[in-house]
Amino acid sequence: MILINPPVFKPCEPPGGIARLAGSLRRHGVSCEVMDASLEGILTLLGKTPTLSDTWTSRAFRHLPDHLRRLTRPQGYEGPDKYRRAVSDINRVIEKSLPPGEIRLSLTDYSDSALSPLRSRDLLTAAERPERNPFYGYFSGRLRRTLEESGHGVVGFSLNYLNQALCAFAMIGFLKKESPPLKIVLGGGLVTSWMNKPGWNNPFAGLVDEMVAGPGEAALISFLGEEYTRGEDLPDYDGFLRNPYLAPGFILPYSASSGCYWHRCSFCPEKAEANPYRPIAPRRAVKEVNRLVEKSDPVLLHFLDNAMSPALLTEIARHGLGLPWYGFARITSHLTDPDFCDALKKSGCVMLKLGLESGDQDVLDHLQKGIELEEASRVLKNLKKAGIGTYVYLLFGTPPETPEAAGRTLDFTKSHGAQIDFLNLAIFNMPVSGPDSERLERSAFYEGDLSLYASFIHPSGWDRSSVRAFVEREFKKDPVIASILRKNPPLFTSNHAPFFVGS
């Protein structure tokens, strides 16, 4: 079997889900090959001469080898200005690798003004016309050679993000034309969300042979005609270790759970989709990480969990991991203990991503975040004192938020500017099956049968354009906020942020 990570996926680390599937398949004696088609496709486009129609593009292309070397060496992250220049120039070459037209491409994104990943008919059109895809020159040859050399009869695609969907279906369409008997399996986070939509009716039945929701080990092995047996499926990164990812060494992604242990936030797709929480026992997770570290010698460990549980954090704090690591954590009482934060720092924790969402207590209570602002303040101060970076996530325009409440979020963020290293700002999208979707007047948010979100009439009349205006004209313009936002690594954001903590 071939497992593929389609474009466009941030080209700085391998796909953790595919590595875990590969480990499970091989434990069951199933031969498999992994392919990071996103990284390979991006590097292929970077190897071509772009349209040199302006000074910036000509300069960027001339310095491209130096920029690529900079992003793959620790020295490249010592100065943010040179790093930003490298990322910006590499992205410019990618953007100009295509002639002006309907398709827009960057290092981390893909869009097409003529085809939408939110419409199943457009995805089927992408499959019918694979030669239209800008990666066609790469994947047609790569897939053809791989099929000829390996003889595999099943190909699986891990589809996690919307900006992968059109490319994934172009590749699927090519494979079905090249080898009609080939079996196609489709899984990943985005596929799980589609299949959990109310009234889901598979529109890809004639093209895709199997679609899998949630963790796919058991379903995939069953589809291949084998009997799945429970066991410790250690992720297998062997097929990714030599890939030239844009990072100063190998970044090891690892999931200690699927789903979310809190599972109460009213705005969260995890709750709307009723995805169950499936944790790996903390002691086993630490043991697995240590085994993977021995095999891969990473420079950084990235926990992929929606939220690292207090039990997992406690186990890590007790035993350490022996290398820098970061991940998403909830603001909990554990982090109000300065000694616990110090222990996390000693364990290797370099940064925590924290979903604060709002600086207004009433909003937090309505969203069922389970966070007290006084507690959040103590956590931010403790982490700063311990030397752990923070990447704080804020969400504007939720149903309980008012302009006044948003102003309080601005005040809270400003007052903790010294304790916040990086910020992620987002505008609320209401899940089509979320708890608020039934009580609020709504309409289609995006045109398409695969849309996961819906627009709504805000109870306070604070429409989306007004929210966006507040974020752009007030929140981002504040000098304290602006200084934090300037620290965010462009395009790679939180994936590269740990390399800049303390700089």
DSSP-assigned letters across all residues of 278-314: EEPPHHHHHHHHHHHHHHH--SEEEE--SSB-HHHHH
Cα–Cα distances in angstroms (integers) from residue 178 to residues 75, 145, 277, in the given order: 45, 11, 39
Q: Is residue 190 within 8 Å of residue 34, measured between CB atoms?
A: no
pLDDT by residue (tens digit) across 275-292?
788 999 999 999 999 999
Q: Please tell me the predicted confidence (pLDDT) of residue 290.
A: 96
pLDDT by residue (tens digit) across 110-133?
999 999 999 999 999 999 999 999
More confident call, 141 vs 268? 141
Distance from the first to the final alpha carbon of the chain: 44
Q: Is residue 401 within 8 Å of residue 466, measured between CB atoms?
A: no
Phi–psi pair at 466, nearest 5 degrees? -70, -40
pLDDT band at 426 (very low <50, low <70, confident <90, very high): very high
Cβ neighbours of residue 180 closer than 8 Å, sequence gap 6 or more:
none
Largest Cα separation within the chain, whole Å, is 63
If DSSP codes are grouped into helix, strand and coil, which group holds residue 11?
coil
pLDDT by residue (tens digit) across 316-358?
999 999 999 999 999 999 999 999 999 999 999 999 999 999 9
pLDDT reading at 272 higher than 80 = no
User: How is residue 296 written in tokens?
Assistant: 């891969």
pLDDT band at 273 (very low <50, low <70, confident <90, very high): low
Mean predicted confidence (pLDDT) in 3-14: 98
- CATH code of 2-48+97-223, in short, is 3.40.50
pLDDT band at 436 (very low <50, low <70, confident <90, very high): low
pLDDT reading at 161 higher than 90 = yes
Query: Which sequence spans correspond to the domains of the chain?
Result: 2-48+97-223, 251-500
Q: Please tell me the predicted confidence (pLDDT) of residue 446.
A: 57
Interatomic CA distance for residues 489 and 12, integer angstroms: 13
- The stretches of 308-402 forming alpha helices (DSSP H) are 310-319, 338-347, 361-366, 373-386
User: How is residue 235 written in tokens?
Assistant: 């992720």
Tell me how crowded residue 248 is: count the other CB atoms within 10 A of its CB: 20
pLDDT band at 191 (very low <50, low <70, confident <90, very high): very high
To the question of domain 251-500 being in CATH 3.30.310.220, the answer is no
Among 148, 162, 215, 213, which residue's Cα sits nearest to residue 2?
A: 148
Interatomic CA distance for residues 219 and 215, integer angstroms: 8
Phi–psi pair at 92, nearest 5 degrees? -60, -40
Prediction pTM value: 0.95
Q: Rg of the chain's alpha carbons, rounded to an integer?
A: 23
Interatomic CA distance for residues 299 and 290, integer angstroms: 13
Lowest-confidence segment of 263-267, 284-288, 491-495 by average pLDDT: 263-267
Q: Please tell me the predicted confidence (pLDDT) of residue 435.
A: 64
Q: Please tell me the predicted confidence (pLDDT) of residue 265.
A: 82
Can you list the positions of beta strands (E) in 114-193? 154-158, 183-187
The secondary structure of 149-160, three-state, reads HHCCCEEEEECC
Q: Is residue 171 within 8 Å of residue 123, measured between CB atoms?
A: no
Mean predicted confidence (pLDDT) in 386-397: 98
Lowest-confidence segment of 113-117, 197-201, 393-397 by average pLDDT: 197-201
Mean predicted confidence (pLDDT) in 471-481: 98
Interatomic CA distance for residues 116 and 133, integer angstroms: 13
User: How is residue 207 written in tokens?
Assistant: 């093209």
Q: Please tell me the predicted confidence (pLDDT) of residue 353.
A: 98
Interatomic CA distance for residues 368 and 195, integer angstroms: 26
Share of the chain above pLDDT 70, in %: 97
pLDDT by residue (tens digit) across 357-380?
999 999 999 999 999 999 999 999
Q: What letter would DSSP give residue 387?
A: T
pLDDT band at 461 (very low <50, low <70, confident <90, very high): confident
Mean residue pLDDT of the chain comes to: 93
Interatomic CA distance for residues 52 and 394, integer angstroms: 39
If DSSP codes are grouped into helix, strand and coil, which group holds residue 377?
helix
Among 272, 320, 281, 327, which residue's Cα sits nearest to residue 303?
A: 327
